[in-house]
Structure 1
């Protein structure tokens, strides 16, 4: 950072030198008023020599840079480079966004596949599967299922949970057999992000238009609201959400709340929401973050600063043991609680992917932007173990 600052100052000074000296060299007049020399305590000749030195330094730096690229690049610098690759980027593109599960069995090759796999792992740990679904139907014991999805993103997650087939051509890049995905009879999604809410609504409209290929039209309701607002479920959200939930409860469904890589952002903490989920007679499943029991005092201080920057209340960072205790306090039976640590398949692999993706995009004159900071954070989490990525399931 210091070297970049010095280079920036020198480049700026060189531009000033060019403005000051070149008119004298080329046209024979001095654009700097004599009063400036008096204030600086310099003569015109000394000032001219100083500016000429800056110009010479800038030219030398330019020549050295050209030589270095030629000597170490092995190729002649291209006039056009690779920026025309932008013209081949395809839209629409997958818009999944979570930390992903970069599995040991079949390594995900794209961000969308890893995000899908994290959802699959949560569903699998919750006990869902197509085989279980078929067995319940055969026995006549299947109950309607309602899912309240807290923080559903841009709609890819919704499409995966509620559609029998892919909708967009880009969906086919990450679509699979959905072997752990049951049939949810009602889907209620809540997100605080208005932009993502609008985007997801368009995706659902496409899904409904795609309905002739579905076994039935999906029952999906998407709302833009703060799911973390304290208060009873029937009063904490607006009347539309309240009415939608009341309609769903008439069929006495099997109720689930999903928070995929979202609930550690809930303010003032996640715990009021989890208590309301139990009062709602809903089971809870999530990918969440915990604090390592071995975290040092220094690590805790650094992490507390980072969590403030990422908008995650410090009250949400507890150890897995404390997390389990909080779930029991909320009313979930201790033998129905499962907390599975999947950190090794999340943080370090995600940091590597971000590094590789940044390099690929920079070849086209792009980059991953603000995610560069997240790359270093995930790498620290992966190498130090200070934060644990866990799948949480608490059955009612």
Structure 2
């Protein structure tokens, strides 16, 4: 069918151009016709193939869309690596990691919280009820919409605002949004900083400045907690090369995968220094994160999924990769907490 459409379209365009063209009777007329026909055929073929691909994709998506009618309204969309100390299931593990960060900053009902990298809003539903005011940041508009809906359905949207922003560069945030962010005394970054481009340095400097300003004006306890991924301390050249490949595959800048010592230097350069009253702690949690995640993925790897789009196959490969980097101490998971009384 496509061949017929391409042929008819090419001939139609060719005849139309010839009839309106002044080249008839000129030297090399036959060669001009040949090259013109070939050129039209190539262009028409590419256009039709593109349209066919788009239409086919739309049809395939539509054919699968009814799956959404069968998903419960309380759908979970957690997307962190989890803390698997007391569970073997993904959602409780994801909640446990989120809770570990809120415990690290000692989140209270009197606090103003800035939450970075919120995904589709599951962590917002955990944190917003625990704080006086909540501001969540995500770089994806679709996720921001889902987060707002999640907060509304959980009846905790009154004290919450969700913004679509590039958290890796707060200097690009509009003034009105900076005003709405206000003066948070607690900041949480759950499983997201290693994705920041070109690095996490700009956000760390922003976090320091805004927390210092809050501390100076409100005279209150301020804190910042992040679950982040760092590189192992003694990588071979082969493992360093492998880490660079992992970074490419995961769209994470390789410069973000530094050692704990170099991360401490980043924090110091951002202003989080003991001399200015900051306490910095690193908790190595790899053994509570990676093995449990890998075991869960291995257990789920036999799931058939729904058709060829909603499958578990990519996570099977990811699980093997995580198991390998953990066994070779290539990547480590840390909970980093910064506090100032």
Shift of residue 93, structure 1, vs aligned partner: 2.0
For 1:218-229, what aligned pairs fall within 5 Å after superposition? 218-229=158-169
Residues 259 and 287, structure 1, Cα contact 8 Å, conserved in 2: yes
Q: Which runs of 5 or more residues in structure 1 are unaligned? A: 1-85, 134-141, 164-182, 212-216
1:270 and 2:270 equivalent?
no
Separation in 2 of the partners of 1:123 and 1:160?
Answer: 9
User: 1:299 aligned to 235, 239, 249, which one?
Assistant: 239
Separation in 2 of the partners of 1:393 and 1:160?
Answer: 19
User: 1:367 aligned to 298, 308, 311, which one?
Assistant: 311
User: 2:228 aligned to 285, 288, 302, which one?
Assistant: 288
Residues 228 and 270, structure 1, Cα contact 8 Å, conserved in 2: yes
Shift of residue 331, structure 1, vs aligned partner: 1.3
* Structure 1 counterpart of 2:191: 261
Residues 230 and 331, structure 2, Cα contact 8 Å, conserved in 1: yes
CA deviations on 1:47-104 (whole Å, 9 max, x unpaired) are: xxxxxxxxxxxxxxxxxxxxxxxxxxxxxxxxxxxxxxx998755421111000011x
1:97 and 2:79 equivalent?
yes
Residues 154 and 196, structure 1, Cα contact 8 Å, conserved in 2: yes
RMSD between superposed Cα atoms in Å: 2.4
* Structure 2 counterpart of 1:169: none
* Structure 2 counterpart of 1:175: none
Q: Which runs of 5 or more residues in structure 2 are unaligned? A: 1-67, 213-222
SS at match of 1:101: coil
Residues 95 and 123, structure 2, Cα contact 8 Å, conserved in 1: yes
Residues 116 and 138, structure 2, Cα contact 8 Å, conserved in 1: yes
- Relative to structure 1, the CA distance from residue 279 to residue 372 in structure 2 (aligned partners, 3 Å threshold; closer, same or farther) is same
1:116 and 2:95 equivalent?
yes
1:328 and 2:272 equivalent?
no
* Structure 1 counterpart of 2:127: 161
4+ residue segments displaced more than 6 Å: 86-89, 363-366
User: 1:356 aligned to 299, 303, 309, which one?
Assistant: 299
256-265 or 192-201, larger mean C-alpha shift: 192-201
Residues 154 and 200, structure 1, Cα contact 8 Å, conserved in 2: yes
* Structure 1 counterpart of 2:113: 147
CA deviations on 1:163-185 (whole Å, 9 max, x unpaired) are: 3xxxxxxxxxxxxxxxxxxx311
Separation in 2 of the partners of 1:239 and 1:376?
Answer: 44
Shift of residue 372, structure 1, vs aligned partner: 2.6
* Structure 2 counterpart of 1:312: 252
CA deviations on 1:342-387 (whole Å, 9 max, x unpaired) are: 001111221111111122x228876314223311221112211110
Separation in 1 of the partners of 2:270 and 2:287?
Answer: 29
User: 2:180 aligned to 234, 244, 250, which one?
Assistant: 244
* Structure 1 counterpart of 2:143: 196
Residues 102 and 127, structure 2, Cα contact 8 Å, conserved in 1: no
Residues 275 and 330, structure 1, Cα contact 8 Å, conserved in 2: yes
Separation in 1 of the partners of 2:227 and 2:187?
Answer: 12
